[in-house]
Amino acid sequence: MTEQKTAEFVDLSGLEALVEAQEKGIEIDILNEKGNSLGLKIGIVGPDSDRMQKAIRDVTAEAAKAAAERGSMEDASADPDERMIAILAKATTHWSPDPKIGGKVIPFSEENVRNLYTRFKIIRDQVEVKAARRASFTKG
């Protein structure tokens, strides 16, 4: 007599929804040092999204190219903060409204995002923490 096995399945629909949510991205309400909203919202995609993965590959390739041009692979990783800023800037989808610094309005562009994250670590830290956590892209 043969033992009959019942078919068991694992439903991965939740993971599929997570992938979709990471591709879509989230909007982060940026807070000041007291935890109050600054009124600036920044959009970012998730760690598993195509855009984030491409950003990581592009920044890694840029660092390797720069090292090759210097003739030394010793420092191919570059400054970790600069690398993270470059990756986050490429993975940032938008901000709203345009921020103003010293009376000058800063329109959204990858270069301006990079400059904002370099100048204001408090903003970069908030974006980095949310972007790195898959849980940031789930509801509830």
Contacts from 52-58 at CB under 8 Å and sequence distance 24+? 52/22, 52/87, 52/91, 52/131, 54/90, 55/86, 55/87, 55/88, 55/90, 55/91, 56/87, 58/90
Looking at residue 72, its pLDDT comes to 67
What's the whole-model pTM score?
A: 0.84
Q: Which tens digit of pLDDT belongs to each residue from 19-78?
A: 999 999 999 999 999 999 999 999 999 999 999 999 999 998 988 888 788 776 655 555
Looking at residue 69, its pLDDT comes to 81
Domain-wise residue ranges, the chain: 26-137
Q: What is the DSSP letter of 137?
A: G
Task: State the DSSP string of 8-49.
Answer: -----HHHHHHHHHHHH-EEEEEE-TTS-EEEEEEEE--TTS
Looking at residue 123, its pLDDT comes to 98
Number of residues that this document lists for the chain: 140
The larger pLDDT score, comparing residue 79 to residue 61, is at 61
Looking at residue 129, its pLDDT comes to 97
Looking at residue 3, its pLDDT comes to 63
Residues 6+ apart with CB under 8 A from 103: none
Looking at residue 118, its pLDDT comes to 97
Residues 6+ apart with CB under 8 A from 13: none
Looking at residue 24, its pLDDT comes to 96
Looking at residue 40, its pLDDT comes to 98
Q: Which tens digit of pLDDT belongs to each residue from 85-112?
A: 999 999 999 999 999 999 999 999 999 9
pLDDT category of residue 4 using cuts at 50, 70 and 90: low
Region for residue 103 given its phi and psi (left: phi exceeds 0; alpha: psi -120 to 50; beta: otherwise): left
Query: Does pLDDT of 13 surpass 90?
Result: no
